[in-house]
Amino acid sequence: MDIKQLHYFIAVSEHMNFSKAAERLHISQPSLSNAIKKLEEEIGSPLLERNTRNLQLTEAGEVLFERAKVIVKNMEVLKIEMDEVIIHGTREITIGVMESIKHWLPKVIANYKKDYPEMIIHLVDILGSKRVKKSLKSYKTHLIITNQLMDDPELEVKTLYEERLVAVLPLHHPLAKKEKVTISDISEEPFIISTEGFQTRRDILDTFEQAGKNIHIQFEIERFETAVSLVRENLGVTILPENYLQGPTAKTIIKKEIEGANLSRNVYLVYLKKRHLPLAIRQLLQDILQYFETKTI
């Protein structure tokens, strides 16, 4: 029994059709049939019940199907890790990021590059809890910085810091004259909010509900950049992390503390517990954690 046979058996089991499985595997149907027969001979038991209408897994086939999927997945992970260590060494790291980290992560990386100048760092947008889990578990990213709290035993979650959420208004909005605004103040305004699946959206909706106020959603967005652009064009108001509004962005809008609403979010560093991380990547992970032990953003 080898890994290729297991791949073949998984394909047949998932399609329950030799023709479709052979097409997926890019081999001939007779070759696939022979491979499965050989596997059955090696095991000493039929794996598939064959009749003129369809295929069905035997009890032995069901057991092998479940075990084979785990074995194949583990082999894929092993190949990735060996490729990373042996072939590419530790020259590349991929980090999933969100928009509000733009004012501190470059500082950490700049310091890190002094010791690892040859390291190639890929920064990719990973938004939403489902995408975070999928990206880490499929080995697309080494680390992810997110505000999504991951309740998953396969993931290690480190809290980095808490950031305040503030109201964002057009420059000449009537509420801009107030020192602070309330949920009641903005409840009648056209509102710009993140799409389903984002923690910030849930927090904002909960805050409106707790205040007993309706929210008039006019736009749903995925990126804060889009929200700020819409506010700038006087198309509505929104609530965003205060850290994102630093720098040039702050000059194009008005930000206001929201009175009576304890709106904030935590930012986390997340990685896969069982994944082997080479020394150079573990060092960047530690640099990020240590940055927040001594500094505030």
Q: SS3 letters for 94-144?
A: EEEECHHHCCCHHHHHHHHHHHCCCCEEEEEECCCHHHHHHHHHCCCCCEE
On whether both 221 and 232 belong to a single domain, the answer is: yes
Domain hosting 132: range is 92-160+267-294
pLDDT tens digits along 15-51 = 888 888 888 888 998 888 888 888 888 888 888 887 7
pLDDT of residue 218: 97
Name the average pLDDT for the chain: 88
Domain end position, chosen among 87, 105, 123: 87
Confidence of residue 52 (pLDDT cuts 50, 70, 90): low
CA neighbor of 6 nearest in space, from 56, 55, 88, 63: 63
Q: Return the CATH number at 254.
A: 3.40.190.10
- Predicted pLDDT at 161: 93
Angle between the N-to-C axes of helices 29-43 and 18-25, in degrees from 0 to 180, rounded to the nearest 10: 100
- Report the length, in residues, of the chain: 297
Segment 206-225, tens digit of pLDDT: 999 999 999 999 999 988 99
In percent, the amount of the chain with pLDDT more than 90 equals: 47
pLDDT band (50, 70, 90) for residue 90: low
Same domain, 259 and 204: yes
Is 80 exceeded by the pLDDT of residue 12?
A: yes
The tally of domains found in the chain comes to: 3
pTM of the full predicted structure?
A: 0.66
- 273 plus 254 within the same structural domain: no
Give the model's pLDDT for residue 82.
Answer: 66
